[in-house]
Amino acid sequence: MDQEPEIRFSVGDLQQAWASYGHDLLLHDPGGRGECLVRRGELIASASALEPVLDRYRRWVDEVQHDEELLLARVRLRGAERDRCVDLARDAGVGVNHVHFGSPVMYGTPVMFGTGADALAAPVLPEPPVSQWEPSVVVGVLDTGCDPHPWFRDRPWFEAVPEELDADDDAGQDRQAGHGTFVSGVVLQNAPGAMIRPHRVLSSLGFTDDYTVVAGLRALRRSVAARGETLGVVVLTAGCHTADDECPPILRDELRDWVDTVVVAAAGNHALTRPFWPAALPSVVAVAATGADGAIAEFSNSGPWVDAAALGVDVTSSFVRMAPGGRRRFGYARWSGTSFAAPQVAAAVANALQQGHDPDEARDLACRDYPFEGNRFEAHL
Q: What is the pTM of this model?
A: 0.92
Q: Please answer whether residues 174 and 102 qualify as being in contact, where contact means their C-beta atoms are separated by less than 8 angstroms.
A: no
For residue 294, CA distances in Å to 37, 235, 298, 374, 375 come to 32, 22, 12, 11, 11
Q: Please answer whether residues 113 and 320 qualify as being in contact, where contact means their C-beta atoms are separated by less than 8 angstroms.
A: no
Q: Are strands 284-290 and 262-266 parallel, antiparallel or unpaired?
A: parallel
Q: Which candidate in 179, 199, 241, 270 is catalytic? A: 179
Task: Convert the pLDDT of each residue in 62-121 to its tens digit.
Answer: 999 998 888 899 999 999 999 999 999 999 999 999 999 885 444 455 655 443 333 333
Q: Active-site residue 143, yes or no?
A: yes
Q: Please answer whether residues 267 and 307 qualify as being in contact, where contact means their C-beta atoms are separated by less than 8 angstroms.
A: no
Helix (H, G, I), strand (E, B) or coil at 116: coil
Distance between CA 147 and CA 320 in Å, rounded?
A: 7
Q: Active-site residue 67, yes or no?
A: no
Per-10-residue mean pLDDT for the chain, 381 residues long? 51 86 93 96 93 95 91 94 96 96 56 41 76 95 97 96 86 86 97 98 93 96 95 97 96 93 96 96 97 94 97 92 87 91 98 97 98 58 35
Distance between CA 244 and CA 86 in Å, rounded?
A: 10
Q: Active-site residue 179, yes or no?
A: yes
Q: Which candidate in 143, 147, 210, 307 is catalytic? A: 143
Q: Please answer whether residues 272 and 300 qualify as being in contact, where contact means their C-beta atoms are separated by less than 8 angstroms.
A: no
Ordered domains of the chain (ranges, CATH):
12-101 (3.30.70), 103-369 (3.40.50.200)
